[in-house]
């Protein structure tokens, strides 16, 4: 029982990182853009998010307070992610470059920028970039008062998490509401399904694609920042962050492009990624647990294509660029 | 009717034909722009761009050891780009080269670790070579099979296969194949399982350059020629080209599209697997989970920017290798983070991808269009 | 509409056409394929702008620049290809692109329901489109227009994809809408439908406006005369081949598409050496399926297709793949309708395209490029293909030249059977004659030529016999030398055929 609880709470910690990455990519893919640059975007988010908090503290010194640092970190990561995916959008939407190749290029570029900024900060600040303990605490502490967390079972599972987890859940619900209940969300889905039909219906395809991809990139980038300020303990750590972006892409498939699924999906993925430390399943070497998320994703991908169930397919125009004159 | 007010400010027109010299000029311009943009991170980090670029060139080409290392970086890039070319020609988006390299390397490693004392040197290398082909090929065949049978999205499938492969190697590394207990490392290969190094002498004018590399370089260069022939001169290459253009036409001509997809992917995976073999046996002399090191992804951009032309791939892969190696030297000499190479590579990819747009389309501005109509 | 003219390049699709449409009436726009019906209506719905002429609504001139503006004027057109998002519900599709404040799917569903009840449509607004039949999809398109407040509805061949029962239902609904004061145009070439549903008929022929008559004062015969016009003499050479022999026997051929609709229904005929067998029929009557079934590209449900060898033996082709058919030594050439999407590789030059039939030739893995190159050069010279060189991508050639490349290649394989689908569609007069001559030349070499065509004038001057299809069924076979256009026109629409009258 105890193991299960620690597994779930640890799964949530890592899952929160994934949730941002995935939610951002869902929004992007809903518009028909397959942005394989998430890995790079999350690197950039991590580096710039950390930089945001660090330079804020450096500027105001001891006067730095947690909430402001959190907001600044989120903003810095979000803007960095938006900028990165703006490059992708301009290339694929306006200049009509191949989405796969452009996404991979963004991955290379983004990991480079993230790494560069992370290293540069370290070099400039004399070898070590660290936040004060009070800020670290602000990032990693639970938002609920202590006695909530101490409630047996329910406490650690529901109340012990950082603010980022609860924000991610709100974001997932908001995105679900946006996609399924609002006109604009419905139009976005239509754009991703059939740009030609949407164009004929008078929807501004280009605007939807740009906005969804750029904002989606921004959201994904927050995930990278969350990793750095929580799991990595406010220190630039590119090794831990490597592969997270790809996992987020996998999770999008696992969630069959639905934001609400991302909530539990990311917790499961998060748990699978750290399970090797906590649980032993007979006959399966613990180190192999790390591939479970990908194996599960492949199975989901195969089953949905075999059953050809129309509700669970990728957006129909995913990966394809749209040119009006080819109608 | 006020038609003119409806005309947008900029209109696009597809170019039917472009002077090849002009196309080349646009491409060169895009590289120059990338290099100019690349000065931004240099300036930020407080380095003189001229100095930095000269260090990059010196530190990758102008000394023997540097050149050797640059070529070592270029070999897998080039090999993998060759592997990807036929898939992309067929419009099958194989982004799983990373995993195919890893599996190929893994299969070769098995023989390197457990058979080195059972068979003669050459036989061992031959066995490693063969199993790397088969391993990489089968790894690529899996998504191709599901594509042919149920039209499963190959981009996402091949992407997932990468991490499964890497995960398996990570397990071997810390488990069954671990060397010293707790080291989390697979032991170094016995000499019998290593590819021999060669000295290449190249004479340019009065100067003689010598280059040391493992024999893989020769194989890869031969492969460039073979792939060019395969794609342009063989029946199978023709089938691939027809499917890439129109699946319906391929069916009309009596081709079995599913089988061709699977066959091509097998070949592609086998070549990537071969690259994995070269990497473990010629460069690293051991296996670890990061053996592919992003080569599978970078190679996709190499293949695409070369417009799937094998000879152009030599130039592009060398260019990226120069950047990477040069940036390493830059880090040791001027304390600029080596990740600057990824940034410049990224910018270079962006500008080179974009330049195809300006080669394929002509921008017509409103004012000029009116003039053209009058003329 | 007054004096509407539309040109595409040199082709005049509509030549100063004037048309009047009144509220509470159904106007049938009648004409053969390519007579300009759809083009004319596209100008009403904002897809094209007329080069000359004006459009008036309720007495005031209007200018329609886009489909959106057409909606604003209350004009809605239902195209043959439906533009729907498959994973959306009916109601979601209907409100797509509308901008009327907050989205309220419930209210939209309610309004859709109201429209349905009012006119007798039968759809569930909350059902997903991918679950729906073709006729339900069509219904959504119609309701979409009504939802937007359209009072002029244009339907482009709405019955082409419907079963007889569905057609009857559609007509009931159309009549309900008419009684509600809507003006309706239905584009069609099926005469019995015109007689059944319309109040007035406007006839177009080759871009010209022929006239408008009241349906109650006319009959199918008179309409056919208006539609096909008097026979035009084309002076196509039609020599007789000395001794025709049976080459291909098709018996009871039945094909079913993915959705289970019969595309071909028990078709039996034979083709002779040394003759051109014409295939007439309104578009979508099963011509495409017939040719593709013969070449092994379309699955056959029932029936047999037998090819007779040089030595008199019969070879059953049903169940063989295109590859196998070729391997068996059946010399069959096929010029498909979709030239660049099926018959040719657009990105390759003439040489590369010549190889499409011969790439397997020769031993070894290497392509034999010499012969195709020689062939390409020969076709280039002999058929006067306009191209800079034999490696210039055929996608960039004009339609006529693309067709010359395709036909040139197919003839070069020395076929015993030559199948052609709409071989002269979109070609200029000169190229068309080049193609006619090539086909006749083949016929005189003893080839069995099957010519699927749409221009009846050409069919009766070019072909020795003409097979007429209607709705996937064989309507009859007539002699090309004695048949009249009117006769074939009636067979195409099943007038006088008991089976059709029952439907």
Does the beta-carbon distance from C96 to A181 stay under 8 Å? Answer: no
Query: For domain A2-326, is the CATH number 1.10.3470?
Result: yes
If contacts are CB pairs under 8 Å, which of residues 180-219 in chain A contact chain C? Answer: 181-183, 186-187, 189-190, 193-194, 196-198, 200-203
Confidence band for C503, pLDDT divided at 50, 70 and 90: very low
Q: Give me the tens of pLDDT residue by residue for chain A, a chain 327 residues long.
A: 677 888 888 888 889 999 999 999 999 999 999 999 999 999 999 999 999 988 888 888 777 788 888 899 999 999 999 999 999 999 999 998 999 899 999 999 999 999 999 888 887 887 777 777 788 888 877 777 777 777 777 777 777 788 899 999 999 999 999 998 888 899 999 999 988 888 888 888 899 999 999 999 999 999 999 998 888 878 888 888 888 899 899 899 889 899 999 999 999 888 888 877 777 776 777 778 888 889 988 998 898 888 777 777 888 888 888 876 543
3-state SS, one letter per residue, for C75-130 = EEEECCCCCCCCCCEHHHHHHCCCCCCCCCHHHHHHHHHHHHHHHCCCCCCCCEHH
Asked if C61 and C73 sit in the same domain, the reply is yes
Task: Write out pLDDT tens, residues C413-458.
Answer: 888 899 999 888 777 777 888 889 889 989 998 899 999 988 788 8
Q: Looking at the predicted structure, is the pLDDT value of residue C57 above 60?
A: yes
Asked if C250 and C271 sit in the same domain, the reply is yes
Asked if C175 and C285 sit in the same domain, the reply is no
Boundaries of domain holding C158: 2-228
CA distance A75 to chain B (A): 22
Question: Could you give the CA distance from residue A98 to residue B155 in angstroms, rounded to a whole number?
Answer: 13
Show which of C183, C204, C228 is a domain's final residue. Answer: C228
Closest C-alpha among C454, C462, C380, C459 to residue C422: C454
Which pLDDT score, from 0 to 100, does residue C495 have?
A: 47
Q: Give me the tens of pLDDT residue by residue for chain B, a chain 375 residues long.
A: 334 344 556 666 666 667 788 888 888 999 999 999 999 988 888 888 898 899 998 888 888 888 888 998 999 999 999 999 999 999 899 999 999 999 999 999 999 999 888 888 889 999 999 999 999 999 999 999 999 988 888 888 999 999 999 999 988 988 888 888 878 888 898 888 888 887 777 666 666 667 777 888 889 999 999 999 999 989 999 999 999 988 889 988 888 999 999 999 999 999 999 999 999 998 889 999 888 888 999 999 999 889 899 999 999 999 999 999 998 888 888 888 888 889 999 999 999 999 888 888 877 766 554 444 443
Which DSSP category does B187 fall into? Answer: P
Which pLDDT score, from 0 to 100, does residue B4 have?
A: 39
Chain C residues in contact with A203 by the CB 8 A cut-off are 96-97
Task: Write out pLDDT tens, residues A97-118.
Answer: 999 899 999 999 999 999 999 8
Does the beta-carbon distance from A203 to C68 stay under 8 Å? Answer: no
Neighbours of C262 (CB within 10 A): 17
In a domain, residue C169? The reply is yes
In a domain, residue C337? The reply is no
Among A182, A201, A311, whose Cβ lies nearest the Cβ of C96?
Answer: A201
Q: What is the ipTM of this complex?
A: 0.89
Q: pTM for the whole thing?
A: 0.85
The mean pLDDT of C350-373, rounded to a whole number, is 84
Q: What is the DSSP string of B80-105?
A: HHHHHHHHHHTT-----HHHHHHHHH
Chain C residues in contact with B253 by the CB 8 A cut-off are 322, 356-357, 359
Contact between residue A126 and residue A216 where contact means Cβ atoms under 8 Å apart: no
Show which of C355, C388, C413 is a domain's final residue. Answer: C413
* Count of domains for chain C: 3
Question: Could you give the CA distance from residue B267 to residue B274 in angstroms, rounded to a whole number?
Answer: 10
Contact between residue A93 and residue A321 where contact means Cβ atoms under 8 Å apart: yes
* Count of domains for chain B: 1
Is C320 in the B-facing interface, judged by CB distances under 8 Å? no
What would the two tokens of residue C337 be? 């309708």
Q: What is the three-class DSSP state of B73?
A: helix
Q: Where are the domains of chain A?
A: 2-326
Strand (E) or helix (H) holding A176? helix A163-181
Asked if C82 and C124 sit in the same domain, the reply is yes
Residue C280: φ, ψ to 5°: -110, 155
Which pLDDT score, from 0 to 100, does residue C6 have?
A: 66
In a domain, residue C338? The reply is no
Which pLDDT score, from 0 to 100, does residue A110 have?
A: 95
Which pLDDT score, from 0 to 100, does residue C221 have?
A: 77
Is A284 in the B-facing interface, judged by CB distances under 8 Å? no
B259 vs C54, which has greater pLDDT?
B259
Which pLDDT score, from 0 to 100, does residue B6 have?
A: 46
Chain B residues in contact with A33 by the CB 8 A cut-off are none
Which pLDDT score, from 0 to 100, does residue B368 have?
A: 54
Which pLDDT score, from 0 to 100, does residue C395 have?
A: 84
CA distance B357 to chain C (A): 18
Residues 6+ away with beta carbon under 8 Å from C158: C78, C138, C170, C186, C188
CB contacts < 8 A, A to B, total 153
Angle between helices B235-245 and B64-89 (to 10 degrees): 70
Contact between residue B250 and residue B242 where contact means Cβ atoms under 8 Å apart: yes
Is B53 in the A-facing interface, judged by CB distances under 8 Å? no
Which pLDDT score, from 0 to 100, does residue A220 have?
A: 95
Output the CA angle B361-B364-B366, nearest 5 degrees.
Answer: 160
In a domain, residue C469? The reply is yes
Closest C-alpha among C189, C206, C193 to residue C30: C189
Task: Write out pLDDT tens, residues C325-355.
Answer: 888 878 888 999 888 888 899 888 888 898 8
Question: Could you give the CA distance from residue B54 to residue B39 in angstroms, rounded to a whole number?
Answer: 12
Tell me the CATH number at C166: 3.40.50.300
Boundaries of domain holding B233: 86-311
Contact between residue A95 and residue B10 where contact means Cβ atoms under 8 Å apart: no
Closest C-alpha among B266, B332, B337, B344 to residue B298: B344
Asked if C186 and C236 sit in the same domain, the reply is no
Confidence band for C496, pLDDT divided at 50, 70 and 90: very low
Question: Could you give the CA distance from residue B299 to residue B276 in angstroms, rounded to a whole number?
Answer: 13
The mean pLDDT of C172-179, rounded to a whole number, is 88
Does the beta-carbon distance from A203 to C92 stay under 8 Å? Answer: no
Asked if C264 and C406 sit in the same domain, the reply is no
In a domain, residue C473? The reply is yes
The mean pLDDT of C50-61, rounded to a whole number, is 81
Does the beta-carbon distance from B152 to A305 stay under 8 Å? Answer: yes
What would the two tokens of residue C499 be? 């089976």
The mean pLDDT of C401-422, rounded to a whole number, is 89
Confidence band for C502, pLDDT divided at 50, 70 and 90: very low
Confidence band for C157, pLDDT divided at 50, 70 and 90: confident
Which pLDDT score, from 0 to 100, does residue B16 have?
A: 64
Question: Could you give the CA distance from residue B199 to residue B215 in angstroms, rounded to a whole number?
Answer: 9
Chain A residues in contact with C72 by the CB 8 A cut-off are none
Angle between helices B97-114 and B154-174 (to 10 degrees): 30
Closest Cα in chain B to A124: B45
If contacts are CB pairs under 8 Å, which of residues 71-130 in chain B contact chain C? Answer: none
Confidence band for C3, pLDDT divided at 50, 70 and 90: low
Neighbours of B65 (CB within 10 A): 8
Question: Could you give the CA distance from residue B130 to residue B134 in angstroms, rounded to a whole number?
Answer: 6
Among B146, B298, B353, whose Cβ lies nearest the Cβ of A108?
Answer: B298
Closest Cα in chain A to C99: A183
Task: Write out pLDDT tens, residues C65-123.
Answer: 777 788 888 888 888 778 888 888 888 888 887 776 667 788 888 888 888 888 888 88
Q: Return the exposure string of C214-234: e unless at least 16 CB atoms fall within 10 Å of the residue's CB, then b.
A: ebeebebeebbebbbbeeeee
| Averaged confidence pLDDT in chain C | 83
Show which of C386, C413, C440 is a domain's final residue. Answer: C413
Closest Cα in chain B to C336: B252
Among B16, B236, B245, whose Cβ lies nearest the Cβ of C345?
Answer: B245
In a domain, residue C68? The reply is yes
Question: Could you give the CA distance from residue A288 to residue C186 in angstroms, rounded to a whole number?
Answer: 65
CA C345 to chain centre: 23
Task: Write out pLDDT tens, residues C237-251.
Answer: 788 888 888 888 999
Asked if C93 and C180 sit in the same domain, the reply is yes
């Amino acid at each position: 029982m105890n193991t299960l609880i620690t597994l779930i709470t640890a799964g949530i910690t890592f899952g929160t990182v994934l949730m941002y990455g995935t939610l951002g990519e869902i929004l992007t893919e809903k518009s028909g853009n397959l942005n394989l640059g998430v890995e790079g975007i999350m690197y950039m988010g991590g580096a710039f998010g950390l930089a945001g908090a660090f330079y804020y503290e450096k500027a105001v010194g001891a006067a730095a307070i947690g909430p402001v640092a959190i907001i600044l970190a989120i903003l810095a990561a979000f803007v960095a992610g938006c900028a990165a995916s703006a490059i992708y959008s301009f290339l694929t939407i306006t200049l009509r470059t191949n989405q796969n190749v452009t996404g991979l290029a963004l991955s290379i570029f983004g990991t480079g920028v993230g790494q560069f900024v992370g290293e540069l900060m370290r070099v400039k600040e004399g070898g070590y970039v660290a936040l004060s303990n009070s800020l670290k605490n602000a990032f990693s502490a639970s938002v609920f008062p202590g006695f909530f967390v101490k409630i047996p079972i329910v406490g650690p599972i529901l109340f012990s998490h950082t603010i980022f987890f609860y924000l991610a859940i709100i974001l997932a619900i908001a995105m679900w509401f946006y996609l399924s209940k609002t006109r604009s969300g419905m139009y976005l889905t239509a754009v991703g399904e059939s740009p030609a039909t949407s164009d004929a219906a008078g929807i501004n395809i280009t605007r939807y694609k740009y906005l969804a991809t750029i904002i989606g990139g921004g959201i994904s980038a927050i995930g990278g920042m969350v990793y750095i300020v929580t799991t990595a303990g406010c220190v630039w750590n590119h090794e831990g962050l490597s592969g997270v972006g790809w996992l987020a892409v996998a999770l999008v498939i696992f969630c069959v492009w639905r934001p609400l699924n991302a909530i539990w999906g990311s917790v499961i993925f998060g748990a699978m990624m750290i399970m090797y430390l906590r649980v032993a399943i007979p006959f399966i070497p613990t180190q192999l647990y790390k591939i479970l998320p990908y194996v599960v994703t492949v199975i989901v991908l195969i089953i949905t294509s075999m059953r050809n169930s129309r509700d669970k397919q990728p957006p129909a125009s995913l990966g394809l660029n749209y040119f009006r004159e080819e109608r | 009717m006020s038609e003119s007010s409806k005309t947008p400010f900029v209109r696009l027109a597809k170019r039917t034909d472009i002077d090849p010299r002009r196309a080349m000029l646009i491409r060169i311009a895009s590289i120059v722009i990338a290099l100019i943009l690349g000065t931004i991170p240099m300036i930020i980090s407080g380095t003189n761009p001229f100095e930095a670029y000269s260090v990059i060139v010196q530190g990758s080409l102008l000394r023997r050891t540097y050149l050797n290392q640059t070529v070592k970086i270029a070999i897998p890039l080039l090999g993998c780009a060759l592997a990807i070319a036929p898939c992309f020609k067929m419009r099958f988006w194989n982004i799983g080269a990373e995993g195919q390299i890893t599996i190929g390397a893994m299969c070769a490693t098995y023989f390197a670790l457990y058979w080195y004392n059972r068979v003669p040197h050459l036989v061992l290398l031959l066995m490693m070579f063969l199993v790397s082909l088969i391993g990489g090929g089968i790894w690529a065949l899996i998504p191709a099979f599901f594509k042919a049978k149920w039209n499963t999205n190959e981009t996402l499938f091949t992407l997932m296969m990468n991490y499964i492969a890497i995960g398996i190697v990570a397990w071997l590394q810390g488990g069954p194949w671990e060397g010293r207990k707790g080291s989390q490392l697979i032991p170094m290969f016995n000499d019998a399982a290593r590819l021999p190094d060669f000295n290449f002498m190249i004479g340019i004018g009065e100067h003689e350059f010598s280059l040391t590399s493992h024999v893989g370089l020769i194989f890869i260069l031969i492969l460039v020629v073979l792939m060019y022939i395969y794609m342009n001169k063989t029946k199978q290459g023709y089938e691939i080209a027809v499917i890439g253009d129109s699946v319906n036409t391929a069916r009309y001509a009596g081709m079995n599209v599913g089988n061709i997809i699977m066959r091509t992917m097998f070949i592609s995976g086998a070549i990537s697997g071969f690259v994995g073999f070269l990497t473990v046996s010629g460069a690293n002399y051991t296996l670890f989970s990061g053996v592919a090191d992003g080569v599978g992804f970078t190679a996709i951009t190499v293949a695409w920017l070369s417009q799937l032309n094998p000879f152009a791939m030599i130039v592009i892969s060398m260019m990226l290798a120069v950047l990477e190696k040069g940036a390493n030297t830059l880090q040791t000499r001027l304390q600029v983070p080596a990740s600057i190479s990824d940034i410049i590579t990224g910018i270079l990819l962006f500008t080179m991808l974009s330049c195809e747009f300006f080669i394929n389309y002509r921008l017509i501005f409103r004012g000029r269009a009116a003039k053209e109509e009058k003329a | 509409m007054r004096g509407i003219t539309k040109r595409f390049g040199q082709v005049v699709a509509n030549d100063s056409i004037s048309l009047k449409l009144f509220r509470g009436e159904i106007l049938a726009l009648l004409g053969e394929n390519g007579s300009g019906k759809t083009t004319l209506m596209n100008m009403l719905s904002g897809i094209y702008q007329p080069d000359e002429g004006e459009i008036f609504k309720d007495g005031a001139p209007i200018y329609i620049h886009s489909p959106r503006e057409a909606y604003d004027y209350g004009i809605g057109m239902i195209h043959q290809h439906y533009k729907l998002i498959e994973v959306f519900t009916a109601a979601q599709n209907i409100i797509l692109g509308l901008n009327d404040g907050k989205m309220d799917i419930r209210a939209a569903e309610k309004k859709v329901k109201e429209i349905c009840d009012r006119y007798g449509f039968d759809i569930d607004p909350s059902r997903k489109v991918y679950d729906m039949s073709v006729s339900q999809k069509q219904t959504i398109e119609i309701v979409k227009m009504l939802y937007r407040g359209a009072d002029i509805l244009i339907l482009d061949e709405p019955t082409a994809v419907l079963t007889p029962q569905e057609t009857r239902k559609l007509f009931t609904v159309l009549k309900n809408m008419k009684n509600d004061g809507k003006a309706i145009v239905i584009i069609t070439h099926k005469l019995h439908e015109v007689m059944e549903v319309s109040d007035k008929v406007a006839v177009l022929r080759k871009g010209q406006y022929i006239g408008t008559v009241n349906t109650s004062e006319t009959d199918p015969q008179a309409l056919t005369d208006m539609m096909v016009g008097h026979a035009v003499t084309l002076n196509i050479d039609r020599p007789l081949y000395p001794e025709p022999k049976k080459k291909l026997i098709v018996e009871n051929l039945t094909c079913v598409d993915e959705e289970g609709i019969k595309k071909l229904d028990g078709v039996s005929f034979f083709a002779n050496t040394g003759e051109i067998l014409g295939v007439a029929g309104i578009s979508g009557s099963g011509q495409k399926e017939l040719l593709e079934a013969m070449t092994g590209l379309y699955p056959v449900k029932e029936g047999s297709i037998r090819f007779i060898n040089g030595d008199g033996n019969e070879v059953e082709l049903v169940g063989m793949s295109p590859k196998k058919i070729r391997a068996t030594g059946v010399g069959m050439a096929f010029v498909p309708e979709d030239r660049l999407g099926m018959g040719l590789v657009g990105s390759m030059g003439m040489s590369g395209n010549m190889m499409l039939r011969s790439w397997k030739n020769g031993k070894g893995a290497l392509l034999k490029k010499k012969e195709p190159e020689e062939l390409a050069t020969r076709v280039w010279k002999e058929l006067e293909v306009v191209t800079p060189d034999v490696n210039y991508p055929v996608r960039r050639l004009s339609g006529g030249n693309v067709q010359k490349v395709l036909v040139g290649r197919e003839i070069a394989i020395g076929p015993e059977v030559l199948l052609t689908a709409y071989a002269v569609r979109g070609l200029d007069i000169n190229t068309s004659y080049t193609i006619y001559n090539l086909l006749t030349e083949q016929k005189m070499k003893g080839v069995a030529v099957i010519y699927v065509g749409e221009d009846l004038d050409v069919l009766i001057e070019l072909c020795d016999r003409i097979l007429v299809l209607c709705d996937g069924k064989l309507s009859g076979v007539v002699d090309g030398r004695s048949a009249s256009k009117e006769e074939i026109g009636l067979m195409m629409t099943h007038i006088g055929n008991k089976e059709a009258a029952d439907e």
